[in-house]
Amino acid sequence: MTEPQQKAFPVSWDQFHRDARALAWRLSGVGPFEAIVTVTRGGLVPAAIVARELGTRVIETVCIASYHDYKTQGGLQVLKGISPEVVKSGDGANILVIDDLVDTGATARIVREMLPKAHFATVYAKPLGRPLVDTFITEVSQDTWIYFPWDMGLTFQPPIAKATEG
């Protein structure tokens, strides 16, 4: 028996921009936030859009490597922590954390340990990571691979029926 094929969810620049603005719209009633901490690299684009929409000027990064071959998650490594000047309270109160996606929740758990009182928001969420996120826009199944616009070029996509034939 063959393993089920992962579902593909390609996201265009236009769609991602709309979804990131929708996230900002939802967050506009939650703040105000003193700063945004974005999880790099995926959180950089939505953080820029959300920061613009909410008028937030202070943006910090936390750099965590988890996807090592763009297909599978490997061991997590914190490459850069959060500057104490940005997180004055020490626990993340009044801080907004932005990432593009919460998948298994492994990265989110690390950030939650750093900023337990921060508001965590993602554009997309999968079921395993969903409980760790306060605000998100679209939930996709755990077996869906999201192809973000910054990872894609223009190529032919086979019809869904062709991809499921075995």
* Mean pLDDT value of segment 123-127: 98
Contact 130, 142 (CB under 8 A): no
Q: What percent of the chain has pLDDT over 70?
A: 87
Q: Which of 14, 19, 91, 100 is catalytic?
A: 100
Locus of tokens 């996807």: 67
* 38 CB-near residues (< 8 Å, 6+ apart): 44, 46, 47, 59, 60, 61, 62, 97, 98, 99
**pLDDT score of 70:** 54
151 belongs to the catalytic site:
no
Residue type at 62 in one-letter notation: V
16/74: higher pLDDT: 16
Ordered by start, the domain boundaries in the chain are 7-164
Q: Which of 103, 134, 143, 151 is catalytic?
A: 103
- The model's pTM is 0.86
91 belongs to the catalytic site:
no
103 belongs to the catalytic site:
yes
The yes-or-no verdict on residue 87 having pLDDT over 90 is no
Vertex 54, ends 45 and 13: CA angle to 5°? 30
DSSP codes joined into one string, 146-158 = EE-GGG-------
155/115: higher pLDDT: 115
Tell me if the domain spanning 7-164 has CATH number 3.90.1300.10: no
**pLDDT score of 154:** 73
**pLDDT score of 21:** 98
Model confidence at 75, pLDDT cuts 50, 70, 90, reads confident
**pLDDT score of 159:** 79
Short-list 45, 75, 74, CA closest to 61: 45
